[in-house]
Structure 1
């Protein structure tokens, strides 16, 4: 087949190009009397010699283990166009004689990678109802980075940003805070043991107050969740009275015993003398 695509003074038409698969080519548009065959690269090939028409294509390289595809072009209408840089998006796709036209992302939108997209992504909102606050604000080339609110910890994370958080657990009375909560871990509680107590907010259990050591009466004994409750202080009468009572009781008993013995001895002497006094 032959063709001529422009007015000419040729004595014969030009031969149509052949899209040779051995050169990595396929036919995109057949030859006509007024236009040459239009060739394009085979699937998984890319053009290395193009001047209005691809003359030769090479197969894409295969990444080795430990490598990834660093793609800098995107395909549109069977053309490979240069990608837009992070923070920008495509306004117009490339043509045969123009490269891709890129424009910056609008406010509150972003794109963090090379792309062939017509629109940027909306920035993430750090929702307080999900226990989140802003750690780093959104920019044209990076999304918002969220973190847990104070006294919250992250339970779902995407890349470096937290997407959901819960409030730290509170220890119950009778427990102490064994390990304080962080932005990534919950509070760890442990039970009080022995003669100690905690209301749930202590970092360790405290020993019960000794009322006697403070010269106070004990009103209510301590538990694992509450301290000993002390009453009124001891007064001097309270301390001395038991001793005085005991002493007086002993003196009274000794006196009665002595008088009784004396009376018995005196009566015995009277009987021996032959007289009994009434």
Structure 2
């Protein structure tokens, strides 16, 4: 019986304690003499706890923080990120949560306890960063794969694909891990160029020869004229056909009918016209004063009657 009574008493006390604790919010309130009082919000501190329901709170100062509801009279100091150790705040400053220090870009922690940061490993030309370093780990380098190259020295180096020669270009120098492919323009057909040059040269030579021959012909003609004028009657040059060398044959002498018709035609022509034509022929040197046709030998200055010329020719 006594044991049962003791158990009942313990249970009642536990129920009383549980009910008393459940009346206050453990996140935003605190118990003061059985009364639930309000705490100060994160980022602030409590100046005076005199007023239970409306306490006096003040904002945390610079480089301070308070990350929960509290009754603390002071805020917590933010950790110091020393830039001389290549460190910086990993996030903007806040008064409601603690800041964390991280390494600057290109650096990583020197140990598990990050008290200082050291530079990342740099990849040499012909290499790339297999894994780029961050706040906690270093850069890992590897060689560029076939068909790519790298010329930089950097902790975040990457490889660039070789240039592909376009149509009309050919490979002059193959790429390596540290150099790109070199492309040059494909040379045109050399045989075609040589043939075109030969044809052009032949045509040019022919044109030059023609011009030279033409100039030489003009020179010969000039020399020939000078020679003829100098020699005069001493040397006879080949004669050129001339209409004056041929005597006009009168077809009417052997044909009586033609003679009659010709006489009729002569009767129709006015006499003054005949006299005018005769004077023109005499003035031009075609007829002599006796009415004979005359010829002029090449290189002679005098004109002789046709009969005298024929007589001289028969004597020769």
Shorter-chain TM-score tier: 0.3 to 0.5
Q: TM-score, normalised by structure 1?
A: 0.39
In terms of Rg, which structure is larger? 2
Name the structure where strand makes up a greater proportion of residues.
1
